[in-house]
Amino acid sequence: MRLLPSIARLPGPALVLCTVLAACAAPTPGAADAQDRQVRPLIVRTIADWPSATEFARRAADVARVPVHEASAIAPRQFRLSLLCGDAITCEAAVRRLSAEPAFVFDVLPDQRRRLPARPTPPTTQ
């Protein structure tokens, strides 16, 4: 790392602090990519039982050819799955690939459940 002449003359602790702050201020690689990506929530009913949501997510990612953001079992042979796609066209293609795998998936539906905000904590009485 090349330091500016004025920073190089700082005492040891100040130099370390400046270096740490500069490293924290730098954008992390891939941070912009993650913000530009779309998350597509789905409900997937499978043909067979899966021992865990993690194993199901691995197989779904292989079939869809996009990363799985999250997966959870919501019923036997039914999973909530979120695909992480680059854009809407990529998401649509991934959903078509999942739907077109008859030995793996029974059906794929958009997850239209609404998530309620967290309930506020009641004020404490004193």
Summarised one tens digit per residue, pLDDT across range 67-121 is 999 999 999 899 999 999 999 999 999 999 999 998 899 999 888 776 677 788 8
Strands of 68-75's sheet, edge to edge?
68-75, 78-85, 38-46, 105-110
First-residue to last-residue Cα distance in the chain: 55
pLDDT at residue 56 in the model:
93
pTM: 0.61
Task: Give the residue with greater pLDDT, 96 vs 4.
Answer: 96
**Which is higher by pLDDT, 12 or 1?**
12
More confident residue, 8 or 119: 119
